Structure 1
Amino acid sequence: MGCSNFWSGLLNFITLVLSLPIIGVGIWLAKQHDTVCVRFLEWPVIIIGIFIFVVSLAGMLGAWCRVSFLSWLYLFVMFVLILLLLAFTIFAFVVTNAGAGQAVSGKGFKEYHLGNYSTWLQKRVDKPSYWDKVRSCLSDAKVCNSLDKDYPTLTQFNAASLSPVESGCCKPPSSCGFTFITATNWQTTSSSSTADPDCGAWSNTNFCFNCTSCKAGVLQDIKQDWRKVAIVNIVMLVFLIIAYSVGCCAFHNNRKEGGFGGGYGKQGYP
């Protein structure tokens, strides 16, 4: 077996193994308690991981079994895959780059505003048909139910390190000036602000699931998870480029020694 064939097969074996964490990360994201309702960025990770697994398997067999046609098909698909993965990674960085929590004086948590996030994410999460499903899912997951037990007093609640979804969906914005009764039960007062539409959207039964701050909290949760995914994608992209380069050498060797599929002679090849 030629040196390039051996290394091509080995690198494809490595990318095959590396595709498993990508699939695992996609499944993990889809099952996260906060993002279980938000699957428009998680499923592409699973699909890409499965695709890389299949392509790497084909490349490994093409290199080690010297099947030139399989190697040619592998290189073509690998080239397309590298472009797609690169485009997808750049896209994920762009759409999740904007947006961050804003510190609130005297509070241990941050608050989130929908207008701070990318236009694409805003349009996606703002669609009534889509948000109705997310809101229903958040309610079914009971994401706010533990707050009363975890933070029974105002002092404990103000010092709490709430998740983006808890901060955006389970309490009214601090600017509303509502009076704390429990972590999920707030009373309006004569001095309560009405400038923020979320103040009117707050309900002690439905919490802030109809608030823009809730949508922002969901998007912030996605952003945090996608920073982790980006690291896996970049590592995978480096290995794919190396494997593609070595695979080109292995394909050249297969053509010289046996032709396409091993069924043709050497004529016509240098």
Structure 2
Amino acid sequence: MSLLTYNFESQYLNNNHTITVILPDKKRDVSPEEFYLSGTKYKVLWLLHGTFGDHTDWIRKTNIELYAAEKNLVVVCPSALNSNYSNWPDAMMGYNMYDYFTKELMPLIYGWMPVSDKREDNFIAGLSMGGRGTIKFAVNYPELFSAAAVFSAVPVPFDELRPGHPCMIMDTNNPRMVQTIHNAGGFDAYINSEENVWALIDKLAPAGKLPRLMFACGHEDTLLYERYQIFQKHCTEIGLNVTWFDLPEYKHEWRFWDLAIQRALDFFGLDENGCGNPF
């Protein structure tokens, strides 16, 4: 494969920003001129890292480059700090990752690289924080992605965030949560924002407007696996067809995510028609 590390000044992040892009490699029986001037527009996977990570995580800790080669797939890995893939207008000079992703990164890739902008050719996946980002983009922009794979993350009902709720799942006095709610314009605005993925799924599922969805979680991923089962039950109740991938003995760990991304590429329906050069 061709591995591109690209640095540019981002309008929405207000700083220099680095992404990694995996591009299909040419087959050895094809001339460079024929390959690079073919005008081919490839399918693309937008692949999101988790908390404390960056654009190199998936490259360093999984075999995604090999898997992409086998599928003839472009893979785009941005960096998101610990932003939850949300807008943080009060952070530094403004770090608006949610807007950046759809309004800057995607147009950049479509305009400057051999990537198809057709919905059926676009997929999104991510782990942990990146899983939350994945489902957020998938349900807020269902017209952009044909399928989404969420690893070690699940939506939660925001009613449980309200102070005093007996099943309250998040400390609204936590500094990170306080800032998140502040950025949204207050608690009620947060509840009614793009962050409320559970409510958006309930709204869009009956109309069949969602991308195809896959969720994955290790059985030993404490607390999260319980939430995974709760969400699984909810999807059954609302009649949402979801693909589930969970395995015993795996925790919140890269060994599981390397297996999950392989399963996701099959779930996306990608053919093994790539190069896969052995050397």
TM-score of the two chains, using structure 1 as the length reference: 0.22
The structure that is strand-richer by fraction is 2
* Structure with bigger gyration radius: 1
Q: Identify the structure with bigger relative contact order (alpha carbons < 8 Å, sequence gap 6+).
A: 1
The structure that is helix-richer by fraction is 1
TM-score of the two chains, using structure 2 as the length reference: 0.21
